[in-house]
Structure 1
Amino acid sequence: MKPNFTLRLRVFNLNCWGIPFLSKHRADRVKRLGDFLNMESFDLALLEEVWSEQDFQYLRQKLLPTYPAAHYFRSGIIGSGLCVFSKHPIQEFTQHVFTLNGYPYMIHHCDWFCGKAVGLLVLHLSGLVLNAYVTHLHAEYNRQKDIYLAHRVAQAWELAQFIHHTSKKADVVLLCGDLNLHPKDLGCRLLKEWTGLHDAYLETRDFKGSEEGCTMVPKNCYVKHQELGPFPLGIRIDYILYKAVSGLYISCKTFKTTTGHDPYSGPPFSDHEALMATLCVRHSPPQHNPSPTHGPAESSPLTSVLREAWAEVDQGMAQAHWWATMAGYAVGLGLLLLALLCALAAGGWMREAALLLWTPSIGLVLGAGAFYLFHVQEAKGLCKTRAELQHVLGRAREAQDLGSESQPALLLGQQERDRAEEQ
């Protein structure tokens, strides 16, 4: 690469709200989205909630001349809804389905059936390795009583870990998607602190779009005002995040969002606003942009957010154990009832009543058994996350005891050290 090397990368991200039979004007919106992507010719277009594979195939054919490379990430029963279109050849791709993803008995929320995941594709651009990630985390549904909070924090940590462990050979890391997290939410802070990713909206000096960068706004005709709750201006839950390795400098030159309609003032593409960023990668950061300094490990933002996450996951694990215990009692009660009914039927006493109660008793045992198995699995998944967080916190305390002056640099710098050793 030349000393004055500069790579310009134009990125598009949108949650397409493409639920078959339920999303309004889906076919028309997909058609107009395809026309817009062809017209703009982004380097990468990363989409969420493309739940219909037919919609993906339609876009695949429509965008083929402009975006010759594409991939649809399949998972779960319904599908992850994630897909990507690229002007550049895709060298590798893979995906990771989150361990915890809501509850199967909450059928009206559907997250468990979707198999929420993170997709990764690797591109080689002008001698640089770009890892691009697209994801969609569990929805919030009720901010005041978020029964999925532990799952969503665990997903954020799992996403951060996946990026951390798969990006060691990358020069540039890009994450796009609907995180279903507000900027100051625990999961969002955990993701940013552990990965070191920068928020394009916060970093750019040239922003055009909705107020405060919101990605669900009341002006959008597909947004129900009750979905915004106590946020009259809207909410920001969709992101473009990025970082570069040491020796490279990445900046967001421009960042745009739609504002309740498409970029040409037509009907909106989705109930979410589209994000468009222009990123520039070059050698060595400018002199006027020194690296931020961090305080002692014990008071660092990373250590603080890790503790918060550990506490939330621990609480979720206790709740999962409680539900598993209650389900276990219900299974035991059902088995005792079945034994009693068998005894009554065999003795000829209340034979008809015993036979009538036989089916619901079996249903109780099977239902409670499934409930028990699921919550045991949930508890194990949360236990895994808690153990990882505990290990990282232990390393932080060890570093403090050794007199480390910058715990975030120690932990995040491990990625660069591993990469240097491999080379």
Structure 2
Amino acid sequence: MEFTLNIFTLNCWGIPVVSKNRKERIEAIATYLQKASHNIVCLQEVWCEKDYLYLKDQLQKQFPFSHYFYSGVFGSGLCIFTKWAIQDVFFHQWPLNGYIHKIHHGDWFGGKGVGLCRIKYNDRLINIYCTHLHAEYHEDDIYLAHRVLQAYSTAELVNLTSSPADVSILAGDLNAAPGDLSFRLITQLPSLLDPYTLLADHDQFAKQIGTSDNINNSYSDPKLVKLCPEGKRIDHILFHVDSKYEAQVNSYGNPMEERVPGEPFSYSDHDAVALELKIKPSQSKPKRQYSEEKHFQETIEEAIKVCREATVLLASGLITL
């Protein structure tokens, strides 16, 4: 019997004091989700527990089941809302989370990682992974090795825990565009599919789905917009299905308006991503759907090189405030 999953992900930019219009935007996000048709919601950067509790209260009718992944000093910022019962939860904190002396970046204090909620829908098991990898912050990207190790750790977790599930979904801000080393690690090891590549018209659709620093977002950096008006596609929903099923992408893109209704600002400094998947029994001989990229050994070698170079920089004391 076929069924449909409608997944939503958004980096909410919910940093207390720092994030502009945080209260108004969180309220607007709740209002949107109350009216939308999503059945699974993954949020990142919900750094204030009060914001999570507000969302939980406002969305109780639409999403009676939810979980916030507590970690570090003030929480991971990750939470999942779902229409269906959560059977199990697990949080894997990454061993490398930025530098403790980079207080203004805050990643180390958040104890970031990847959260898993295993959902039971009728007799089907659905694994939902929510994550947020380390940001670049600067062009020299001293956190590349951190992000690469986080990506590998995430890919390894998905690969080792997805086998009991009929469907596995990884959603969140990966701070990596398709083709980037971190993105390749995450998709290749657990064979996750990028729904964008399954769209027949994805070449025409490309300039419409940059999720960060695009021309339509009120919080985008003008300098970055000038260089690349369509922005970067760094927020993703990836998936794979068990061999006895096949998946069809019904829709994929940003479901929210460019501005909060009645306000001059956007819902967040990132755009949301929504994916509607139709899952149905496979009509052919059971065959697992694999990612198009199959050069995992080359990817691993590239990752090792990045980590070795970072070790040299650390030893030479070139990484400072």
TM over 0.5: yes
CA contact (8 A) 2:69 2:78 kept: yes
Root-mean-square deviation (Å): 2.8
Instruction: State how 1:61-72 maps to structure 2 within 5 Å.
Output: 61-72=57-68
| Aligned residue type for 1:137 | L
Higher strand share: 2
Aligned twin of 2:187: 192
Change (3 A) 1:6 1:205: farther
Aligned twin of 1:242: 239
Instruction: Provide the rounded CA distance (Å) in 2 between the counterparts of 1:202 and 1:218.
Output: 23
Aligned twin of 1:311: 305
Q: Residue deviations 1:343-373, cap 9 Å, x none?
A: xxxxxxxxxxxxxxxxxxxxxxxxxxxx9xx
Instruction: Provide the rounded CA distance (Å) in 1 between the counterparts of 2:260 and 2:195.
Output: 19
Instruction: Provide the rounded CA distance (Å) in 1 between the counterparts of 2:103 and 2:291.
Output: 47
Are 1:284 and 2:278 an aligned pair?
Answer: no
Aligned twin of 2:119: 123
| Aligned residue type for 2:55 | L
Are 1:252 and 2:249 an aligned pair?
Answer: yes
Change (3 A) 1:228 1:148: farther
Instruction: State how 1:203-214 maps to structure 2 within 5 Å.
Output: 203-205=198-200, 211-214=207-210
Q: Residue deviations 1:361-418, cap 9 Å, x none?
A: xxxxxxxxxx9xxxxxxxxxxxxxxxxxxxxxxxxxxxxxxxxxxxxxxxxxxxxxxx
TM-score by length of 1: 0.69
- Identical columns (%): 36
Higher helix share: 1
CA contact (8 A) 1:16 1:47 kept: yes
| Aligned residue type for 1:277 | L
**Structure 2: which 5+ runs fail to align?**
none
Structure number with larger C-alpha Rg: 1
Quote how far apart the aligned CAs of 1:231 are: 2.5
Instruction: Provide the rounded CA distance (Å) in 2 between the counterparts of 1:149 and 1:282.
Output: 39
SS at 1:123 equivalent: strand
Instruction: Provide the rounded CA distance (Å) in 1 between the counterparts of 2:78 and 2:312.
Output: 32
| Aligned residue type for 1:254 | S
Q: Residue deviations 1:295-326, cap 9 Å, x none?
A: 9xxxx511211111121122223333444xx9
Instruction: Provide the rounded CA distance (Å) in 2 between the counterparts of 1:290 and 1:173.
Output: 13
**Structure 1: which 5+ runs fail to align?**
328-370, 372-423
Aligned twin of 1:24: 20
SS at 1:94 equivalent: strand
Q: 1:220 aligns with which of 217, 220, 223?
A: 217
Aligned twin of 2:88: 92
| Aligned residue type for 2:99 | Y
CA contact (8 A) 2:15 2:46 kept: yes
Change (3 A) 1:230 1:142: farther
Instruction: Provide the rounded CA distance (Å) in 1 between the counterparts of 2:251 and 2:291.
Output: 26
Q: 1:135 aligns with which of 131, 134, 138?
A: 131
| Aligned residue type for 2:171 | C
User: Which of 1 and 2 has higher RCO (CA within 8 Å, sep 6+)?
Assistant: 2
Change (3 A) 1:285 1:205: farther
Quote how far apart the aligned CAs of 1:201 are: 2.1
Aligned twin of 1:47: 43
Matched pairs, number: 316
